[in-house]
Structure formats: C-alpha cells, structure tokens
Amino acid sequence: MELDELKNTWDNANNPIDQNLTPKMIDQMIQKKYHAKIKKIAYPEIIGVIICLISAFFIGLNFYKLDTAFLQGAAILSILLLVILSLISLISLRQLNIPEDINMPYAATLKIFATQKLQFYKLQKTNVILSYVLLVSIIILLSKFFNRKDITETKYFWTYSFSFGYLFLLFYSKWVAKYYKKTVQKSEELLQELQQ
C-alpha cells in the first residue's frame, strides 16, 4: 500500500493539477476558505444574538412580576443591555467582511482587514465589559422570576452568585477572546496568501 501511495505522489508531482488553476480560481478558493473561517465566529455570535433577544423578550413578558422599583430598574437595564449587546455583536460581525472586489489590490485588502480587525476587537471588548454589568442585573432578576421571592436580602446570595458568576464570565470571556483571535489570525493568513 505504501508503494501505491508513493507512486501516486510521484505521478501527481509529474502531472501537477495546478496547471488548470487560474489566478481567479485560486482567489475564489482562498475567499471560500476565508468565509469558512469567519463563519466559525459568525454562527456563535448569531446564536448569542438570538439568545439575547429571547432573554429580553422573556424579561419584558414577566415585567409584571417585579413589584419593586429596584427590580423594575434592573429589568429595564437588562433589556437595554441585551439589545445593545446584540447590536454590538451584529456590528462586530460586519467588521470582518472584506470587500469582494477582485480588482482591488491585495495590499489595500489587507489594510482594510487590519482596520476592521481592530474595530472587531474593540467591539468585542465593549461586549465583555457590558456583559459584566448584565450579569449583575440578570442575577437579581433570576432570583425573582424563578423563586417567586426576593432572595437578594440574604448575604449568601450576593457572595456566591457574584463570585461564581464573575469567575465564570472571566474564564469564558478569555476563552472566547482567544478563540476569536486565533480564527481572525488564520483568516488574515489566508488573505496574505493572496498577496503572494
């Protein structure tokens, strides 16, 4: 079997398939790979937007259960933050789209991508900061929605819920940032292949 593989490799080296590929076809292949990489970021972001909007709708539907001004304020803040986080996610995804103008020079495409990449990272940092504020308001509301009583008066609630919530959010946001950075770097490498 190894002999057959060696023969196939030798035959492929002598008759390269690359002769049939035009520069336009290579560009299209790399753009497909680029968009496949970006979809690894886009799909989780879109799912997150859907979850945020469903959560905002849920809070709005159950607003009547909130009997104090403090809880109503937390609900309004949560709805606003969920909508803002959704908008930021959609805007950040738009930052990763490169122009598909084939006539544009590769250097200009890379420059546009570098600018958009910085904007994407800034928007993601804003998203993380707002997520910490959202965590506070959501924890307060969850106690009322699911326990039917206000448990925010107990000292254990504040100690444990915020400790675990912030630790989870810290590690999760770092993991997501690392994943996004790795994916964006691979996308940038694909664009740089076009330049060569």
pLDDT tens track for 44-86: 889 989 999 999 999 999 888 888 888 889 899 999 999 999 9
Return the percentage of the chain with pLDDT > 90, whole number: 15
Confidence band for 157, pLDDT divided at 50, 70 and 90: low
Return the percent helix, strand and coil in the chain, to nearest 5. Answer: 85, 0, 15
- Sequence ranges of the domains in the chain: 25-195
Question: What is the reported pTM?
Answer: 0.69
Angle between helix axes 106-147 and 69-95 (nearest 10 degrees) is 160
Would you tell me how many other CB atoms lie within 10 Å of the CB of residue 187?
Answer: 22
pLDDT greater than 90 at residue 191: no
Mean pLDDT of 153-173: 76
Distance in angstroms (rounded) separating the CA atoms of residues 65 and 148 = 8
How high is the mean pLDDT of the chain? 76
Cα diameter, the chain: 79
pLDDT confidence of residue 194: 56
CB 158 within 8 A of CB 140: no
The structure tokens listed for 18 are 């690359």
